[in-house]
Homo-oligomer: A and B are copies of this chain.
Amino acid sequence: MAKELGISISTVSRALNDHFDISTETKDRVKAHAAKVRYVPNAFAKGFRSHKTNIIGVVIPNIEHRFTATLLRGIISTAEQNGYKVIICESMNSDEKQVEQLKTMIEFGVDGVLLSLTKKTKNIDEILDLTQHVPLILFDRISNKVACTQVIIDDEDAAFQAVEHLINTGKKRIAIIKETDESNVSERRYHGYLKALRQHNIEVDESIIMSSEDLSIEEGQRQTKVLLSLQNRPDAIFTIIDLAAVGAIKELKKNKVKIPSEIAVVGFSNSIFCTIIKPNLSSINQPGNRIGETAVNYLIEEIKSEDHLNFKTIEIKTNLIVRKSSFNPKKASKLQSQ
């Protein structure tokens, strides 16, 4: 292009980048020609020189998880708005894959990494090592063992809201279906459950605290069956994921248990099932977009700043969406007039 215009490469470069020191006339001439020959700047060469790729690496455990899509949408759009591209890897919840993928991202020269951890991340050391090479932010599936900024929903508060809502509708014996304590997320939600009970002076009853390795519809159904077999049945069930709540409702309906009057159900995630299953499922709405956006914004800030100090944990607030599985509007007036 330079020689076609009879000027130097430097001038072309400066004209294209609107350098203050170039005459408007030259700029116009260069830009016009660039458009004519459909000149495509080589972002690679640019990045190569500046040691910036403008690529953000994202590693997630499971792309088919519905919530992941919402997170990714937030990440991708926010990154795009800021001139970054996003490279995505799926660790398939494998520890080894996760480490390997992070390594190739570094090799690739990503400017920063967003990581959502596998269910049970053992080799934290390798991840700590990573932070030496590149800005890192954990999101959604985090770990307090890694010193870096972390973005999550406020799980504890969310669970607290859900359980308090049940208490406010008159429930006194609230069961929880959660995962085993290896799941960080599950634990935080469990804490919110405990906090709500404590705050309302409700005794914790171990017999209605159900834990499983891996929740699913079937598992929710199984655990509910156990709860129904108890002498002293619960009057509400809070599940830490919607799928389990769907299972719970299935099992309750099978046993002709009235929902919500006999046993109310609240889930978590406000997934699409909520409005499909009958009765519609009350659930915690998680603003996945906002988590993604926030994580990207903090990451870009870190990329641009020199010092990577004072890491924070940002907790995004959620909101409870009340539906018929936990609250029957017909009886609302009665309740309110009490």
- List 26 A-B pairs, Cβ < 8 Å: A40-B107, A40-B133, A42-B107, A42-B109, A43-B107, A43-B108, A43-B109, A44-B47, A44-B53, A44-B109, A55-B87, A63-B76, A64-B70, A66-B66, A68-B69, A69-B69, A72-B88, A76-B90, A77-B90, A80-B101, A85-B89, A86-B87, A87-B87, A217-B276, A246-B276, A272-B273
The interface residues of chain B lying within 8 Å CB-to-CB of A272 are: 273
Number of copies of chain A assembled together = 2
Taken together as a complex, chains A and B put the C-alpha atoms of A89 and B69 apart, in Å, by 12
Enumerate chain A interface residues (CB-CB to B < 8 A): 40-45, 47-48, 53, 55, 63-64, 66, 68-70, 72-73, 76-77, 80, 85-90, 101, 104, 106-109, 133, 217, 246, 272-273, 275-277
Do the beta carbons of B87 and A85 come within 8 Å of each other?
yes
Say how far A115's CB is from chain B's closest CB, in angstroms: 16
Dominant secondary structure at the A interface: helix
A48 cross-chain contacts in B, Cβ below 8 A: 44-45, 48
Q: How far is the CB of A101 from chain B (nearest CB, A)?
A: 8
Question: Once the chains are docked, how many angstroms separate the CA of A57 from the CA of B47?
Answer: 18
Cα separation A199 to B64 with both chains bound (whole Å): 38
Nearest B residue to A104 via CB reads B85
